Structure 1
Amino acid sequence: MHIQEWLESVPAVAVYLVVGGVIGLESLGIPLPGEIVLVSSTLMAATQSHINPYVLAGCAIAGAIIGDSIGYSIGRKGGKPLLEWLGRKFPKHFGPTHIAKAEQSFEKWGMWAVFVGRFIALLRIFAGPLAGVLKMPYWKFLIANVLGAIVWAGGTVAVIYTVGKVAEEWIGRFSWIGLAAAVLFGVGSFVVMRMRAKKAEAKEAARPAGAEAVTTPAE
C-alpha cells in the first residue's frame, strides 16, 4: 500500500502522530522516509478538510527537534563506537564513506551543517548523532536544530499545501473545461465529417455526367 493511501485510511490524530514519530525517528538517526511522509500528509491536508496543516507542521517541527536532540544525546554518550555500530547495522546509510563526508561537512560548516543538513536526506539522518559525537556545544546545536526544523518542516508544509490547493482548484476547473472541449471537439468533428461526406457525394454525382459529356462528341 502506498504511504498516502495508508495515511488516508487513518484518523487525523493518527496522521499527526505518524508524521511526528517518523520524522523524529529519522532525525534520531534511523533511516526512514520522513520527507515522503510529510509531503504525502500535506497533500492529503490540501484535499481533506479534517487534516489541519498548522497542526501537521507543528507535529513535524516538534518531531524534528526532539528526534535531533535525542540523537545528539546518544551520539555524545556513544561516541565513535556508536558510528561504527551504525555502520554495521545500516551500511548503506552509515558506511565509512558517508560518515567521512558528514564529518567533513561538520568540520567545515559547524552549526550551518546542522541547519542545512535538515534539507539533505543523508545529513538529516546524521546531524543529531554526529553533532553529539563531535562534541558540538549543545546550545549551538539547539539553535541550528530549531531553526532548521522550523524552516524545513514549516516551509515544506506551506509550499506543498499551497501547491496542492492550487492544483485542486485547477483540476476542478479543468473538469468543466475538459467537458466543454470534448463536446466542442465532438460537434466540430461531426460537422467536418458531414461536410467531407457531402463533398464526396457531390464529386461522385458529378463524375458520370462529366464522363458522358466527354464521350458524347467523340462518338
Structure 2
Amino acid sequence: MTTETTAADGSWLSALVDAVVGLMDVIGPYGAGVAIAAENLFPPLPSEAILPMAGLAASRGSFALWEAILWTTVGSVVGALLLYGLGAWFGLERLRWVAGKLPLVKVDDVDRTVAWFERHGGKAVFFGRFVPIFRSLISIPAGVVHMPLWRFTLLTAAGSLIWNTIFVLVGWYLGESWHIVEQYMDVFQNIVIAVVVIAVVWFVVARVVAIRRERRDPAAE
C-alpha cells in the first residue's frame, strides 16, 4: 500500500493519513488499531480519516475486512479504557476540590453533573461514540463516577463497533474517493465545536449575571 492515495495539499491531515498508512504497511490492521487508540487520547485526530484508510487497505487485500473492523474497535476500547482509568484515578473528591477553586464554577455543578451522569451515563457513553470529540471525553466522567467497568466496556465496544464499521465500509466501497466523506465529516465536527463554544459562552454569561444578582441581593440564589 502506498501513500499516493493521500491528499496532496501538505496539510496536517495528509501527514496523519500518511502516518496511518505507514503503520498499516508495517504491522497490518494492528496499525489502524493503534491509530484509533491514539485518536481517543487526542480528540483532534479524526477517526473519519483513519477508518476509511483501513477499509481501503482491506479492499486492496492488505488484510481482511473483518480484521480492519476488529482491530479498530479494539483500539477504540483500549483508548477509552485509558481515559476511564484517568477519570477513576482523579476521582470525584479531587474534581469537587478543583471545582471549588475555579472561578464561575461551583461544587454543586459537579454534583448535578454526576447525578445526571448516574441517570443517563449509559446512553451518554453509547451515543457519545458517534459524536466527534465527545466520544473521547465521555470516558473521563464515566471513570470519575466509577461506572461498572464491564458496562462501560460493553457500551463503548458496541458504539465503537457501529461507528467503525460504517467508516471502514466507506473506505472499502469508495476506495480512492474516501476523502469525499471526510469533507462532510469535517463540517459535522466544526458544527459540534461551534455548539460547544456557544454552550460555554452561555454558561459563563449566565453565571456572571447570577453572581452580580447575588451581590446585589445576598438572599437571592
Q: TM-score, normalised by structure 1?
A: 0.55
Secondary structure of the residue that 1:49 maps to in structure 2? coil
RMSD: 3.4
Are residues 1:126 and 2:153 paired?
no
> Which 5+ residue runs of structure 2 have no aligned equivalent?
1-9, 99-104, 179-221
CA distance in 1, matches of 2:28, 2:53: 10
1:85-108, Cα deviation, whole Å (9 max, x unpaired): 9xxxxxxxxxx9xx99xx588466
Task: Tell me, yes or no, if the aligned pair for 2:55 and 2:170 is still in contact at 8 Å.
Answer: no
Q: Residues 138, 32 of structure 1: CA spacing in aligned structure 2 closer, same or farther, 3 A cutoff?
A: same
Q: Which residue is equivalent to 1:17?
A: 30
Measured against aligned partners, the alpha-carbon deviations of 1:109-163 in whole angstroms (never above 9, x if no partner) come to: 3211111111111211112222111222223212211211221212321243133
Aligned position for 2:212: none
2:21 is aligned with 1:39? no
Aligned counterparts of 1:156 and 1:40: Cα–Cα separation in 2: 9
Higher alpha-carbon deviation: 3-12 or 125-134: 3-12
Contact kept, 8 Å, 1:45 with 1:52, in 2: the verdict is: yes
Report if aligned partners of 1:26, 1:34 keep a CA contact under 8 Å in 2: yes
Change (3 A) 1:10 1:79: closer
Residue 53 of structure 1, CA deviation: 2.3
Indicate how the Cα distance of structure 1 residues 31 and 122 shifts in structure 2: closer, same or farther if over 3 A, else same: closer
- State the Cα distance separating 1:52 from its structure 2 match: 2.8
Determine the C-alpha separation between the residues in 1 that align with 2:134 and 2:140. 10
Whether the aligned pair in 1 keeps the contact of 2:24 and 2:32 (CA below 8 Å) is no
Please, which of 133, 137, 158 is the counterpart of residue 148 of structure 2?
137
Matches within 5 A, 1:159-198: 159-164=170-175
Across the two proteins, how many residue pairs are aligned to each other?
A: 151
Contact 2:88 2:145 in 1 (8 A): yes
* Structure 2 CA distance for partners of 1:141 and 1:41, relative to 1, 3 Å: same
After superposition, where does 1:98-137 map in structure 2 within 5 Å? 103=113, 106=117, 109-137=120-148
The one-letter amino acid of 2:85's match is S
- Aligned residue identity for 1:45: A
State which drifts further: 12-21 or 110-119: 12-21
- Alignment CA distance shift 1:7-1:24 (3 Å): closer
Deviation per residue, 1:170-217 (Å, 9 max, x gap): xxxxxxxxxxxxxxxxxxxxxxxxxxxxxxxxxxxxxxxxxxxxxxxx
- Residue identity over aligned pairs, in percent, reads 24
Structure showing the higher helix proportion among its residues: 1
